[in-house]
Amino acid sequence: MNLATPPVAAKQPHVETHHGIALRDDYAWLRDPAYPEVTDKAVLAHLEAENAWFESRMAPHRERIDALFKEMRGRIKEADKSVPQKDGDWLYWIEFEEGAEYKKWWRRPVAGGADELILDEVALAEGHEYFRLGAIAVSQDGRLLAWSVDDNGSERYTARIKVIASGEVLPDEIPGTLSSLVWVAGDKGLVYSLANEQWRTDNARLHWLGQPVAEDVELYHEDDDGFRVGASLSANEQWLIIGTSDHETSEVRLVPAADPLAAPVLVRARQSGVEYDVDLRGETLFVHANDSHENFRLATAPLSAPGEWTTLIEGSDEFYLTGFDLFRDFYVIEGRVRGLDRIEVRYYDDPARVEPIAFPEASFSAGLGDNPEWAVTKLRLSYESMVSPASVLDYDVAARGLATLKVQEIPSGYDASLYATERLEIAARDGTLVPVSLVYRRDRHAGGPLHLYGYGAYGIAIEPGFSTTRLSLIDRGFAYAIAHIRGGDDLGRAWYKAGKLERRTNTFTDFVDVARGLIARGHTQAGRISISGGSAGGELMGAVINSDPGLWGAVVAHVPFVDVLNTMLDPTLPLTPGEWPEWGNPIEDEAAFTLIRSYSPYDQVKAQPYPPLLVTAGLNDPRVTYWEPAKWVAKLRELKTDTNELLLKTNMGAGHGGKSGRFESLKETAEEFAFILWQLGIEG
């Protein structure tokens, strides 16, 4: 293998015609026809050649990678444990031991007694290159534990059950799950969802303990390929809630948890564009829905007539109601006002009584933590900001007071006073003000390097939270900015809708305009900006290097969704039918075909200079299939007119999330940061 030059993928002409337009794809061969098995020797040889090129180009920087990894690891408290939380007769917590990649799950009796190890991830992960815990659930009587594991990154989990006291693993084994695990019927049954051949959860199934899995009962089957099914328990644990939804429509059924084979109660039949979720208190149903306002309302309905909704909290342009939690004596709503988190305690017997929880900083991320019990007087909360490490808080509902239980420790040291954070608004080209969260050292030189992160899809907000890894850039003179671009729901549902379907390109232009605005305000300079994004955020990276390559000094695209048109044209791929409400259906809709083709990064690669680029992929990734980044890099190598670095690293034993383990994943971040520092010419 010649490591003096990068690998060049063979070109094999492949043409498909859609809407009378011929699409040529010379690198379609990189998709192994046997996928999800990847055994094609030519495909594997090419991926291995790219990995070898990555290793050879990064080899001179291994000393820096090791130094970055060491300092990142030094910010992690290796022997650490969570704050115990009461659930019934037990206190539960998780614990990391010194040097361990994975955690252990513990409990002890509230009444006193010995600590009890209920699940040992370290032991389960032994011998596996990849390990990820999926679901974990203790039975209502506290006797049994169900859990699921993925040991190859394919996101198909195998569920097992054991007796906690003895450690005996029961013969029950359920392969291929992709869901929560829900105990029902007095702990005699377990509800789960299987991933079908297309990696879609189109079912909710019931497993009776001790019975063959082949005899499991399908409680619900979803016939629409675009919908996914999931199950959970109501807050009072009396009802099994079976929900099915795509990206913009949902439908919920209720089944008595004590009698899961009873006929399900349909809350309200699906209506295109209406999303709702529910919980119950006594005979009253609480419904969180966007039927009357895109920012959602909270309504109630009698269990006897679950589809007759009466507004409890009106939808609002100002307050984006993201969710609610019911407790015996009060309920809690969560949402955002101008993009900042808000939590309110409210009361069943006094609708006018509203008690917002006050937090100390102007910009922060806060939310409800783990609150498993129905009857509580204190709420467990999480809190952090871009300069404040993550904290665990208890809120005394009666006293309306916050108590700090734990603050994230940084063993190597951290002085928050050295850092400053800002919340900016930068005008996009159409005049829309885009929020930007910014953090930097107070002694930073103006106009220095800046890292800009973005996502902008699926209505997922990027919180202004804390990151220990981020400090490795900030302490080297970077400012770090998060662009809260359209396509996320940072500013409400309208913000999300303004970046999807026919308005998708707002996401890309917002990101570019934020970068230009940061330059105009003196925070950085063109060519001194590094950028990163993953998955749909990787699509963002591909779009902005096509449109504005000169702005960026270094680009990192993690498992990037860049072959958008070809993927949306293939309904056999795992996610495609469920993605049409997000991107459009180019099979049936010529306008959607034309629009997606106009921005799909792979289709829009052209002969021009491109900035330095590091791309990652996962061979077992079911979300963004490995061939998307592989094809993209191959086409970039063919057409780009510069000599800048272009590197592709494919994890051959991992999936969408990269390597597992708390330290192994840090190694990949260290590689990413070393690449950025190298390309921007920053020493130290």
Active site residues: 535, 621, 656
CA-to-CA separations, 128 to 142, 149, 152, 232, in angstroms, rounded = 29, 11, 8, 30
The structure tokens listed for 148 are 């699921």
- Look at the chain and count its residues: 684
Cis status, amide bond into 171, omega within 30 of 0: no
The structure tokens listed for 183 are 């105990």
| 8 A C-beta contact, residue 582 and residue 458 | yes
| 8 A C-beta contact, residue 650 and residue 616 | yes
Task: State CA 371 to chain mean position distance.
Answer: 21
CA-to-CA separations, 509 to 454, 542, 547, 613, in angstroms, rounded = 12, 12, 9, 20
Q: List all residues 6 or more positions away from 67 whose beta carbon is below 8 Å from its beta carbon.
A: none
| 8 A C-beta contact, residue 514 and residue 481 | yes
| 8 A C-beta contact, residue 484 and residue 339 | yes
| 8 A C-beta contact, residue 386 and residue 466 | yes
* Nearest 10 degrees: Cα torsion 247, 313, 182, 153: 30
HEC string for 173-239: EEEEECCCCEEECCCCEEEECECCCCCCCCEEEEEECCCCHHHCEEEEECCCCCCEEEEEECCCCCE
Radius of gyration of the chain (CA): 25
Cβ atoms within 10 Å of 111's Cβ, excluding its own = 7
